Structures are given as C-alpha cells and as structure tokens.
Amino acid sequence: MGKFSNKISETVIRRMPVYHRYLTELIESDVERVSSKDFSAITGFSASQIRQDLNNFGGFGQQGYGYNTKQLKEQVDKILGIDKTYNTIIIGAGRLGSALARYKGFRTSGFMVTSLFDIDETIKNVSGIEVKPMRQVRDYIKEEKVEVAIITVPKEACKEVADILIDAGIKGIWNFSPYDLKAPERVAVENIRLNDSLMTLSYYMKEL
Amino acid sequence: MGKFSNKISETVIRRMPVYHRYLTELIESDVERVSSKDFSAITGFSASQIRQDLNNFGGFGQQGYGYNTKQLKEQVDKILGIDKTYNTIIIGAGRLGSALARYKGFRTSGFMVTSLFDIDETIKNVSGIEVKPMRQVRDYIKEEKVEVAIITVPKEACKEVADILIDAGIKGIWNFSPYDLKAPERVAVENIRLNDSLMTLSYYMKEL
DNA sequence: TAGATTGTTAATCGATTAACAATC
DNA sequence: TAGATTGTTAATCGATTAACAATC
C-alpha cells in the first residue's frame, strides 16, 4: 500500500471506479490533463473532494497544472488492483449466469471467466460455453488457481455454495443471489442486490 | 407522504429494502414481533438507527413491545411504493435483457415486464418472449401506460434510448448500460454499475 | 405494577466543503 | 515572474450513536 496505508473509507473507494471511468473517456478523447475543477464538472464530485480522495493514495497532481490523465488512470488502476488478472468462475448456469459468462466488459477490469458450474449435471453447455458439474468445483479452484467466483444460484443455495468456494480457497465473491452474504475475514464479497435497487427506484418514482 | 414529508436522505432510503427483506424472512418464520435490538442483530444496523429510520415515516412501534412484523412490513411496502404495480419494458434484447425478462423475482416488487424491444428488427423473439422493433416503443409506452424501462443496450446507445423513453413519458429507468444516466427532474433513474462493483471487489481483494 | 422498549433529543463521529499557503 | 492549481488544514455539515423520558 505504499506510504499512505491508513484505512481508506468505503465511500472513497466507491468513487474510484467513477474516476477510472471518466479518466478512460478523457484519454479516449485525447485530453492530456485535467484540473480538479474540470474533473468536478465531469464527475459531479466537488473539486475539493477529488483532490482529497486522490491524496489518500499519493500526490498525483502538479500545482498550476492539474493531473495528467494517463498517469492518473495508471495510478487509479493500481489502487483498484485492475492492472492484474483474476481467474474467475461462475456458479449457476441459469440465464443470468450465462449472460454474465458471455459479457466481455469484465475483462477490462481483469476478470477472466474460465468456467461455468452447475449442480444440474444434465446441463452440458449454455450458448456454447461448457458447463462443469458442481462436484468438480473444489478441485478446479485449487488446480486452476481460481481467485474469484460469481454466484448466480437461487438464494436458498447461496450460503452453501459460498461455504464450499471459501473452503476451496476463493478470494473474492461477486454475489447476485438475493441473499446477504457475510464476508469472512479472508474473503472479499460484493453483494449485488438488484431487488433492493428496484425498490429504491420505486420509492423515487413515488416522490416525483 | 402523510404527516412526515420532510425530505428523507438517500442513506435512509437505501436501508428500507433491507428492512423489507428481513421482515419478509421473519414473517415467513412466523415471528410476530421484533424489537429494534433484535432487528439490529439480524440486519447489522444499530438499534438506534433502525428506530430513527422508521420514525422518519411514522411511529410504527409500541413501547415495551417492539414492532409487529406484518404491520411494519406493510408500512415499509407502502413507503417503497411496492404495493403498486408498474408496467415495465426492457430495451435491448441481448443476453442480459433476455435474462432479466425471464426473471420472476421482480414481480414481488411490483414490476411487470410486458415487452422487450430491440433496434435489430430481425430478432423476433428471445427464449420464447416476443421482441418488438424499437421504432414502436414510443406508441407502446403511451398506449400501454408503461411507467418503467429497463435499459440493457450498449453504452453508446444509452443516452439516445433514454431520451426517447423520457420523451414518451416514462417515469423510471433502471439502467444497466455502463453509462451514467443523469435523471431529469421528472424521471427517477437507478444506474446499475456492475463494472464499478467489480473494481471495488478487486480493491478489497488486494486489501485482504 | 414493573419491565421492556419505543420515540426523540443531545453528543459524537465521520465526511464534505471551504480556505489558503506552497509551488509548479 | 504571474497565474493556476495542488496538497492540506480548518470549518461545516450530515449521519450515527448514546441517552433517557414517555408509555405500553
């Protein structure tokens, strides 16, 4: 973590991917430098906040100049750890699982989906991707050094599946089951709660 | 909004679906009442926070007793507006779009997917669901009184599609394109940023 | 009634914004 | 150099926690 290794708050971390996204756009538009003021207009975060966020990780800017977009993006990539590649598997070969298996966008974040697993051994492949039986997942994780698992099983199965994965040594879980998976110490978990998001949408529609 | 109509902060609103979820579980397990202390242990939010959150909307509890789970869930449903039904369409008949079209879980939040649209008119249906041509979306929204649109088109098309939908009178957008859709005054927008979530996962994996 | 637990106010904590000296 | 803009500290704002009187 370099010289600034005090714990960074989650609110700061969740803004980093946004910085990443807009920096990518700026670079694609051949913009070489950006001031916190300009970046504020783009991202919607205050200039002060942007400077403070970035300074949690180091002094990436230059007085009188601003930030070099390419250099800053490299730093953000490094902070987020997406300069690395993660072997990734998907558990649950249902519709969502197979849709995610086919999605190429995750590769830009370094997540390489190498295999799909399902409890139903009669499913041999979905839209061209081989599906392996769940009973092989443990050995596969160990042999192929799989670090990340995407869970798209029904909520009843989520906990059980997660326990198997964690026991097999998985490091990160991206959970789409509508079940609040608690992260044990040595595993990172991101719960995607689509239903919660819909309910929030519903609330704000009422408020219009 | 009844007697408490001061603006509620988003952090409070985003906890409401969690209350909803755990209340549903309690009711399914035939638990009739729950104190803020017990509910704290279940949800992970502090008892104080739970009481304060709920009191933004009214006094739903009873001193010395706690909260009646069924009654409280009814109130939460009403607050979130999921006691109503929303006519919903999906724009983009790709893998994610069709996976979402088939998912039944959204119906419990009141979102009824009635149709799927795509710019590619050669796609007549995906996994049994009819796909309508995009040029018909405007009339369809008006005639069928569609209130919600789920966007699963490539990010380049997102803004253009959203403009058409908003112009046709849509009230809420659930956006899966990796594009930050800004909500105009009269439309509610939820941006689902899957890539951002993956990057956050990547960060926390590094931190283990 | 006595015990339990809410509703609500006050105290604390953390995050955001404002300000400005340092410096490119 | 003069102007611009960062890095960083101080001030403000908002959210969480603690405390307790009200009351079932």
Using CA atoms, how far residue A83 sits from A36, A207, B165, in Å, is 24, 41, 37
Last-in-domain residue among A25, A46, A79: A79
B51 and B32 within one domain: yes
Spans of chain B below 70 pLDDT: 1-6
pLDDT cut 90: percent of chain A above it:
88
Name the residue with the least CA to C1' distance from nucleotide C22. Answer: A63
pLDDT-derived band at A4 (thresholds 50, 70, 90) equals very low
Residues A14-30 have a mean pLDDT of: 98
B201 belongs to a structural domain: no
Q: What is the mean pLDDT of chain B?
A: 94
The answer to the question of residue B25 being in a domain is yes
- Give the residue-averaged pLDDT of A64-72: 98
Co-location of B16 and B101 in the same domain: no
Domain-embedded: residue A208: no
- Closest Cβ opposite residue B190 in set A16, A94, A200: A200
User: Which pLDDT tens digit goes with each residue over B141-185?
Assistant: 999 999 999 999 999 999 999 999 999 999 999 999 999 999 888
**Does residue A106 share a domain with residue A24?**
no
Closest to A144 (Cα-Cα) out of A157, A132, A155, A156? A132
**Under 8 Å CB-to-CB from A18, ≥6 apart: which residues?**
A43, A45, B180, B196
CB proximity A55–strand D (7 Å threshold): yes
Predicted pLDDT at B96: 94
Domain membership of residue B169 (yes or no) is yes
Residues A92-130, buried b or exposed e (16+ Cβ, 10 A)?
Answer: bbbbbbbbbbebeebeebbbebebbbbeeeebeebeeee
The reply to whether A41 touches chain B by the CB within 8 Å rule is: no
DSSP output for B117-137: EES-TT--EETTEEEEEGGGH
When the pLDDT of each residue in chain A is averaged and rounded to a whole number, the result is: 94
B2 close contact with A: CB closer than 8 A:
no
Separation of alpha carbons A74 and B91, rounded Å? 34
Q: What's the predicted TM-score (pTM) here?
A: 0.94
Q: What is the pLDDT of residues A142-157, one digit of tens each?
A: 999 999 999 999 999 9
The answer as to whether B126 is a domain residue is: yes
Proximity of residue A48 CB to strand D below 7 A? yes
Mean pLDDT of the region A29-33: 98
CATH code of the domain containing A139 = 3.40.50.720
Q: Which domain holds residue B57?
A: 10-79
Average pLDDT over residues A100-107: 88
Decide if A201 is inside a domain. Answer: no
- Residue A17 contacts strand D, CB under 7 A: no
Confidence band (pLDDT; 50, 70, 90) for A3? very low
pLDDT of residue A2: 34
* The Cα angle at residue B29 between residues B28 and B30, in degrees rounded to 5: 90
Say if residue B157 is in the same domain as residue B192: yes
Q: Please check whether residue B43 lies inside any domain of the structure.
A: yes
DSSP state of B6: S
A4 close to A52: Cβ distance less than 8 angstroms: no
Three-state secondary-structure class, residue B50: helix
Residues of B in contact with A178 (CB under 8 A): 21, 105
Query: Which pLDDT value is given to residue B4?
Result: 42
Three-state SS letters, chain A? CCCCCCCCCHHHHHHHHHHHHHHHHHHHCCCCEECHHHHHHHHCCCHHHHHHHHHCCCCCCECCCEEEHHHHHHHHHHHHCCCCCEEEEEECCCHHHHHHHHCCHHHHHCEEEEEEEECCCCCCEECCEEEEEHHHHHHHHHHCCCCEEEECCCHHHHHHHHHHHHHCCCCEEEECCCCCCCCCCCCEEEECCHHHHHHHHHHHHHHC
A137, A75: one domain? no
Task: Specify the number of domains making up chain B.
Answer: 2
B197 strand C contact, CB < 7 Å: no
